[in-house]
A = this chain, B = another copy of it.
Amino acid sequence: MMLEDTETRRDQNIRWLCGHPGDALLFLSPEKTPGSGGKAILAAWDINLAKLYASQTGVMIASYNDFDRKPVKAIAAVAQKLGVPLGSKIEIPSVTPYPVFLDYVGELTDFDILCRENGAALEMRRLRAIKDEEEIIITKKAAGITNELIDSLEKNVKSGKIKTEADAALFIEVESRRQGCEGTSFGTLAAGPDRSFAIHAFPGWTVAPFGTQGLSILDFGVKLGGYCTDVTLTFVRDLDPKQEKLVNLVEKAAKLAVSMAHNGTRTKDIAAAVDALFSKSKKKMPHGLGHGVGLQEHEYPLIRNSSENEWVLEPGMIFTIEPGLYDPLLGGCRLENDILITETGHEILTTARIIRL
């Protein structure tokens, strides 16, 4: 099996498996005899980084440049080095573009090239959806930092120290690193009252006012040892009755959804309950209710009201619940927290809230 992390197709599975942060191919071969252990070769673009991050996991490190940074060439060479028998199945990433897949099949005629949705990618998605003890510990640490940031953001918006979208975004950039984070989980979205109507404001932040009259959305997360948080606060000030109604509805939806989060629940039932609540007030949420968080800011399970969504909550899953409503005139409101499913119920890891100014 080959995994690929490249500029246009990122794959955190490589980091998950061997610690290397990216721009690399990772080859895994199965055990020849049970218990013998499979083999792993990391072909990294930056071999200096690979030695720093991946060498302790026992993976063999090669230079991707030695294969001219060509996956086909690397597959052929690695297959030979590992003694993979001709005719063996070699799985490539499920996201491989169709024309690239044709190249692989055309050039690697000695092997059976597999590219499928329901193969290794799906298996890793399922494995990663349930966090192990170590992953839960680091995510809780990241959540703790996130919660301190939330308190400081509230204090600084209230005191007038944070006046613009840029003030809020830069505060998060600086403070997250100061607390030892790798950085933010994604580009912070800070949208003051004039821009909060968008689900994902564009650009993510500007020098526009933040926390002034109306609805201001702040969507951010921190990344600690690779693990992400993802929260959204809405700061509100001097609302008119229609805005007040929007905010109350989002708060109610968040409460309802979180109350339903426990072992065995189908995630589509949670999302359907929120859709039904909004629908009673003739409102419609233009995005899914939530998603897993982990090494990526968006992973599994999905929390979405669609017939194909078959995810059922299990202990160890960590995901967001993030109801939101948006109106071109009133502005937008979203409330997002990260939830951990436990044997007996759930833990709400983050303390995002509606902040009334």
One of A96-104, A136-144, A239-247, A338-346 at the interface: A96-104
Interface size class of A (residues with CB under 8 A): 35 or more
Within 8 A of B (CB), among A277-335: 286-287, 298, 306, 326, 328
Contact in complex: A298, B98 (CB < 8 Å): no
Taking the closest CB of chain B, its distance from the CB of A154, in whole angstroms, is 22
Question: Chain B contacts of A49 at CB under 8 A?
Answer: 198-199, 202
CA distance A206 to B174 in the complex (A): 9
Q: Which residue from chain B places its CB closest to the CB of A118 in the assembled complex?
A: B99
Taking the closest CB of chain B, its distance from the CB of A156, in whole angstroms, is 16
Contact in complex: A204, B183 (CB < 8 Å): yes
Within 8 A of B (CB), among A181-206: 182-183, 187, 197-200, 202-206
Within 8 A of B (CB), among A10-59: 10, 21-23, 45-49, 51, 53
Taking the closest CB of chain B, its distance from the CB of A334, in whole angstroms, is 13
- Other than A48-B326, A98-B115, give 12 A-B pairs with Cβ distance below 8 A: A8-B95, A46-B200, A47-B286, A48-B328, A49-B198, A94-B99, A97-B98, A99-B116, A166-B174, A170-B174, A177-B205, A182-B203
Q: List 17 A-B contacts (CB under 8 A).
A: A8-B9, A22-B202, A45-B199, A46-B198, A46-B200, A53-B202, A94-B97, A94-B98, A97-B97, A98-B115, A99-B115, A166-B174, A173-B173, A177-B206, A178-B207, A183-B204, A183-B205
